[in-house]
Amino acid sequence: MNRTKAYSAASSTSPLTLDAIQRRTPTERDVQIEILFCGICHSDLHTVRNEWSSIMPTVYPCVPGHEIVGRVTRIGTKVTRFKTGDLVGVGCLVDSDHTCPNCKDGLEQLCPNQTLTFNSPDKHLGGVTYGGYSERIVVDEHFVLRVPVNLNLPGVAPLLCAGITTYSPMRRWGDIKGKKVGVVGLGGLGHMGVKFARAFGAKVVVFTTSPDKKEDALRLGAHEVVISRNGDEMQKHAGSFDFILDTVAADHDINAYINLLGRDGNITLVGAPEKPLAVSAFALLFGRRSLSGSIIGGIPETQEMLDFCGEHNITADVEVIPIQKVNEAYERMVKSDVKYRFSIDMASLKSEYNQQSKQ
């Protein structure tokens, strides 16, 4: 086992602070990764604060982080796909049963026996898994992704969760080239949705409640921006969309968007509002429209997404922070005060340790 520096929370009301955790010695199929950057996802905050206690209570200490980019420093004897020095990524999953129908189809995100990157029972060491707010991580090679070398690394980290979450439903819906695609909400997820929809060749419309986001939406690739509080502006688009990606995690009127879909149009939810949404059956019946949900993506599709990003030079827009600012970043994320994702520079964790050990 290896002692590894990490930032952890000791309880739902504690800040994240420097800690030491254990990582396993790589088994024959494991890859050991030195973490360079880790994105901050809303799931990190929800888990640290035990806000999802009804579905997955948090076990403390909690080390979050599932948008990991790093370099391979050690490989097990049977690892075939990676070598020391490779640039790699790890997303929300570090293991699954490999045998269920979903795993067989490369849809590990739907496996009933998956192991999440943090706060999931750890099959190797017992206790729970620890995420990317740490110096290094050891992962089964099946769940390690290859990162194109031409991309800006801090901006690659969020692709592992926010990126695949928005890429997967658009890909699944079909070829959106030339189609009219809406993206609801312009945050960490929404800004990636805009970039992908544009790169796929769609006509992209962003829906936002904040008029001051208009300029940025256009810069990110939107062709048009609609202020969703403006009923007249919304009405102009009635029945005209092929596909809408809804990234909003707060309570909102879903029917207002269903009504914008054309025949056989689909709206896919990737945000998770706490309360159930009220859906009008009539809005779905007329127009044969559908409402779906989607969560991250499988390993093959996540690799496809990263390769696509390499070809099209797509990364997330990030604000790079040292890990010492992580608690502050959480407060700002709650207020949506970030464009559009925080990415932690893990060199800051190393230097904190070195300073401490000198004392």
Q: Which residues 288-327 are close enough to bind Zn ion by CB under 5 A?
A: none
Exactly one of 4, 8, 32, 43 binds Zn ion (CB under 5 A); that residue is: 43
How many residues bind to Zn ion according to rule CB under 5 A?
8
Residue 161 binds Zn ion (CB under 5 A)? yes
Q: 37 with 157: CB under 8 angstroms?
A: yes
Q: Which stretch binds Zn ion (CB under 5 A): 37-45, 130-138, 276-284, 314-322?
A: 37-45
Task: Show Cβ contacts of residue 26 under 8 Å, excluding neighbours closer than 6 positions.
Answer: 32, 74, 75, 76, 138
Q: Is 40 in the site for Zn ion (CB under 5 A)?
A: no
The rounded distance, in Å, linking the Cα atoms of 48 and 6 is 14
Minimum CB–partner distance for residue 208 and Zn ion (Å):
21
Name the minimum Å distance from CB 105 to Zn ion.
9
Of 4, 96, 168, 268, the residue at the interface with Zn ion (CB under 5 A) is: 96
User: Considering the complex, what minimum distance in angstroms separates the CB of residue 16 from Zn ion?
Assistant: 16
Among 6, 35, 40, 41, binds Zn ion (CB under 5 A): 41
- Rule CB under 5 A: say whether 100 interacts with Zn ion: yes
Residue from the set 103, 107, 291, 318 that interacts with Zn ion by CB under 5 A: 103
Query: Looking at beta carbons only, is 43 or 120 nearer to Zn ion?
Result: 43
Q: Which is nearer to Zn ion, 115 or 259 (CB)?
A: 115
Binding flag, residue 93, Zn ion (CB under 5 A): no
Q: Is 283 in the site for Zn ion (CB under 5 A)?
A: no
Q: Residue 102 Cβ, how far from Zn ion at the closest point, in Å? A: 5
Contacts with Zn ion by CB under 5 A lie at: 41, 43, 96-97, 100, 103, 111, 161
